[in-house]
Structures are given as C-alpha cells and as structure tokens.
Structure 1
Amino acid sequence: MLDMIPAWRIALAVCLTIPANAVHATDRCDDLLDRESPAFAKQTPKEFDLTPGQGWRLLATEGCKAQAAVAIQRFLSEGDRPYHVYFHGAQMDATVGNYPAALEKLQRARRPEMAADSPFKWNDYVDAVAAFLRRDLDSLRRCRQEIAQRADVPGNAANLKVVDQLIDHFGKPYGEIFR
C-alpha cells in the first residue's frame, strides 16, 4: 500500500509530524556544541567530566544529550582518558539509545586494578549498567547483591540506588529512567 503513495507525500507527512521546536532544539544544541568544542579540547578530564557547568555537563543540562555524547566521544578520541569519562560517555550513549557504543565504553570504564573483594564495588556497578543494557536481569541482580553487601562503603549506597532504579524499570529504555 505504501508503494502506491508518492515518496514526496510520505516525506511531507513525516516533516509535518515533527514539532518545530524539536528542529530548533537540535539546531540550538548543535550550535552550542560547535561553540563550546574548542574550550572542551583544552579542559582537563576533571574539568570536562566532573565539573558542573563545564564539558559535557554543560550540554546535558541544556537538554542536549545527543550532543553531550558526541562531545564525550570527541574528548575520548583525544588521548588516554580516565575510567570515569568512559563511564559518563556510556551513560550519555545509553540515554540517547546507542547501546552498542555504551557497552563498548563500559568495558573501558571498568577498573581492572580493583580486586573482586575490594570494598568499593565500582566494577559491579559498571557491570550492572551493562547487564541492564544487555537485558540480562539475572546478571543485574547478581551485581546488585554484590553492591548491597558493602552498602556501608562510601559510593556503594548511591550506586545501589541507581541499580535499584534499573531493576525497577527493567525493560524500559535507559533514557526514560534517568532524565
């Protein structure tokens, strides 16, 4: 049936269903990324990744999640970067639905120097996010159990809350859980 409708009519119908503010938002976000990219290139990993109002966070707080993911990818391509930049890159990729890229970054976000019996359960947290993206509820629950056993350690309690959110919203898109 669709093969009987001229392509230009389908294109017009699609264009008319896209809200005008969505197009303007994308333009605004692309402009912001272009304008801020030179500054991003000069920032330290701490400034780019962990400082509110700077780096990718500047874009994300403006609602420019896809552009934040692009900015992180560019920053990562500039050289050796710490694990936390990869983790936040994975979060932004997952937020915009790019699970393959997120899973790849999560591999680099793991800290192999941390022993499995380390009190801080960073690798279990990273693995929990990966399990959610792979739709592997059993692995997600196993990771949660590991983190919960050491919820008394700083950082683990906050990460446990995130993992609980992943379990509570299992099967939903990552980007719908953390807006």
Structure 2
Amino acid sequence: MKYIAIIFLLLSGNSFADDCKNIYENIKKDSLKLNIEAFDQTTGSGWRILEEKHCYSQSAQLIDEYIKENGNVSSLLWHQLQMNAMSGNYKLAVAIGNKILEKEYSRQDNSPFLWAEYVEGTLAFLEEDNQRLVQNRNKLSSSADFPPNKMNLVVLDRLIDCIKCSYKKAYTGN
C-alpha cells in the first residue's frame, strides 16, 4: 500500500508538470501576438493564464519569449523576476532584478515612487540579506504616504515576517 501511494504521488507530480507544459504550448503562439496590456495586465490572458494555474516556471518562460519577440518592457521584467522567484529560481530572479536596478538607477527623476528600494528589498530577501531587506523596508516606510510605496511596504513587511519562508509563501501568505 505504501508503494502505491508513492507511485501515485510521483505520477500526480508529473501530471502537474505536464499540465503546465501543455498549457504553455497551447497558449504560447497566441500570447506572443497580444499587445502589452493584454499580455501583462489582463486577468486570464498572456502569462497570467499560467500564473493562475501556479505554473510559475512556464509563466517566466513565456514572459521571456514575449520580451524576445516584442521588446524589453520593464514591467515584464518585474513579473519575470516574480515568476522565477515563485518557482524557486532565485538565482535567475536576482539576475533579472539587477537588470531592473541598472535601468532604475540610470533614471534622473525626483519621483516619490521608491521603486528601486522595493526591488532592492525583494532581492535582499532572495539573497537572504536581512539587514539590506530591513534597510530598504525602512526607506519605503519613510515615504509610505505615496500609495504605491505603501502597497510595496506591505509586501516587504510580509517578506520580513516570513524571512525563513520561500518567496512564494512569504509573498502570498500560502
């Protein structure tokens, strides 16, 4: 009986991976033709179809294909970072985060939006650098009156509260 349960678990795990691969293959061609809003910001469309099924690795892969096909869009890089982090591929997520930061630090504006601090805090979590995570959290906190900073502060607080968790669990609470 014990062996039957193990075989069932192994087969069901492969079934999930196969489902994700099949969904990816079925939506890839049409997804790559979508405009950026439909691909990136529309529930039930583009990479979000895969994300909604918890196919994080394939979500990241589809975003990568979209960027190659349609050009580099910064919001896509962030979502690609998140999907890689959700799938446990922290090394690639950090590399993408560093690309985001290169672009962010090259900007010369006085925006109240502390995007770099949020990205830095997320990378610090992925790299298990708790001190850097808290430092960036505190920077965001000092500008929490700006709504996007407040929203991102909530996320960094969740990462801190679940510092030993996976990114997926810390970010989603599940």
Query: In angstroms, what is the RMSD of aligned CA positions?
Result: 2.1
- Once the two structures are superposed, the pairs formed by residues 59-70 of structure 1 within 5 Å of their partners are 59-70=50-61
Higher helix share: 2
Instruction: Give the TM-score of the pair, scaled to structure 1.
Output: 0.84
Distance of 1:116 and 1:136 partners within structure 2:
28
Instruction: Give the TM-score of the pair, scaled to structure 2.
Output: 0.86
Given candidates 5, 14, 28, the residue that maps to 1:23 is 14
Match of 1:86 in 2: 77
Which sections of structure 1, spanning at least 5 residues, go unmatched?
1-11
Q: Which moved more, 1:61-70 or 1:18-27?
A: 18-27
- Once the two structures are superposed, the pairs formed by residues 164-175 of structure 1 within 5 Å of their partners are 164-175=157-168
Give yes or no for the alignment of 1:73 onto 2:64.
Answer: yes
How many residue pairs get matched? 167
**1:84–1:109: 8 Å Cα contact kept in structure 2?**
no
Q: How far is 1:22 from its partner?
A: 2.0
Q: How far is 1:79 from its partner?
A: 4.7
Which sections of structure 2, spanning at least 5 residues, go unmatched?
none
2:57 is aligned with what amino acid?
A
Give yes or no for the alignment of 1:54 onto 2:30.
Answer: no
2:51 is aligned with what amino acid?
A
Q: Which moved more, 1:61-70 or 1:94-103?
A: 61-70
**2:20–2:50: 8 Å Cα contact kept in structure 1?**
yes
Give yes or no for the alignment of 1:129 onto 2:122.
Answer: yes
Q: How far is 1:107 from its partner?
A: 1.9
